[in-house]
Structure 1
């Protein structure tokens, strides 16, 4: 059995079409939407609407953790515009292309920048969407937990720790624990380019210690200090920033 795993697709539809080649199944750990590419400020919904110069400024402010100033800039740019409707229209355009690129079968969960309410409209019969639920793939039980925890970034699918922990607990025993965000381990949460810690989950870390899955797979941290480490018997793996690598992580058994 061979399974390919991707995360943080961020608009890379052409590469996503090839991601399942040679695999029996594809797993996607979320963040399909590209709102603003921190490596190429000309890509994404934000520069399409407001131009590269404003995208440059937004990235500068967020990277410096000057979130109040970033919100002021954001509010000034959106003044007089239908923010919700404009973003939803742009996201729908991306989702139509990205979900069409998924091979059959695909097992997917949400990232923190995704909009879960829209997924049922685009997920075809070959795509199984899971969040706080399990699926058997090749005789192994895979558990999926989508979304992220609340941060100053205020991305679309951030939830409270209690709600997130309840989804983790609902999985029960699993062989492979799949999530968008990492467990709360500093080395796995630190982004070396952004020079900040992303939020990891204590509930995921507790599950790794008590359930002891063979693998814990995740993404979210684009340039992790440590992409892979062992906790007890569990191999914790950041499967990579697919928008950058264009290469899925593979597991075989």
Structure 2
């Protein structure tokens, strides 16, 4: 059995269409939307709507950790769109989702990232594409558990939830062979981004589940350039499956 795993797709539909080649199934750990590309500020929904100069200014504020100023700046731009900025965002997001969901092979199992809009996914999921969040499925005789979304941060990305709600989804899984989440367990080496030079939020609930349940694997993404891409906690192999938008390569899990 061979399963390919991707995360942080961020609009990369072309490579996504090939991500399942040679595999029995594809697993996607979220962040399908490309809102703003920190490596190419001409790409994404934000520069599409507001232009390159505004994208450069927003990223500069965020990189300087001036998050309150970044939020105020962003709000002023959204307000400039008129009476219904949400409609403009949704239109742009839907264009990306239509292309990305069409690229998923059959079968694909996926969960949400912190920059996804879960309410829209029902309009694009189809036979052979299964969305799971706080739920399990069997793939090749192994139980895979999925936990989507992220925890609350100063970035205020679209799908951030409370620690309590997130922990309840982890607890709902029970014992699994492969624990799949968008965000990593709360381990410094796995949550520190060496390029952004900051810690992303990891999950204590995921870390507790790893320590107590000892799944064979814990797979995740979210941190694009982690200090450590993998480590072992007890008998569990914890693996950041990679920043798919940048590499175009899935992580392969075989048994």
* TM-score, structure 2 normalization: 0.98
Could you say what the CA RMSD is over the residues aligned between the two structures, in angstroms?
0.6
Measure how far apart 1:80 and its partner are.
Answer: 3.6
The one of 202, 217, 220 aligned to 2:219: 217
Distance (Å, rounded) in 2 between the aligned partners of 1:76 and 1:172: 44
The one of 133, 144, 153 aligned to 1:131: 133
Distance (Å, rounded) in 2 between the aligned partners of 1:63 and 1:250: 33
Name 2:248's counterpart in structure 1.
246
Equivalent position SS for 1:122: coil
Name 2:64's counterpart in structure 1.
64
Name 2:147's counterpart in structure 1.
145
Name 1:49's counterpart in structure 2.
49
Name 1:165's counterpart in structure 2.
167
Distance (Å, rounded) in 1 between the aligned partners of 2:210 and 2:52: 42
Name 1:2's counterpart in structure 2.
2
Consecutive unaligned residues in structure 2, runs of 5 or more? none
Name 1:175's counterpart in structure 2.
177
Distance (Å, rounded) in 2 between the aligned partners of 1:115 and 1:248: 23
Alignment length, in residue pairs? 253
Measure how far apart 1:24 and its partner are.
Answer: 0.2
Equivalent position SS for 1:21: coil
Name 2:39's counterpart in structure 1.
39
Equivalent position SS for 1:226: coil
For residues 16-57 of structure 1, give each alpha carbon's deviation from its aligned partner in whole angstroms, at most 9, with x where no partner exists: 000000000000000000000011000000000111111111
Name 2:75's counterpart in structure 1.
75
Name 1:236's counterpart in structure 2.
238
The one of 177, 191, 196 aligned to 1:194: 196
Distance (Å, rounded) in 1 between the aligned partners of 2:248 and 2:101: 16
The one of 202, 205, 208 aligned to 1:203: 205
Matched, 1:25 2:36: no
The one of 90, 94, 97 aligned to 1:95: 97
Consecutive unaligned residues in structure 1, runs of 5 or more? none
Equivalent position SS for 2:23: coil
Distance (Å, rounded) in 2 between the aligned partners of 1:161 and 1:100: 33
Distance (Å, rounded) in 2 between the aligned partners of 1:105 and 1:58: 38
Distance (Å, rounded) in 1 between the aligned partners of 2:180 and 2:24: 17
Distance (Å, rounded) in 1 between the aligned partners of 2:4 and 2:231: 19
Equivalent position SS for 1:121: coil
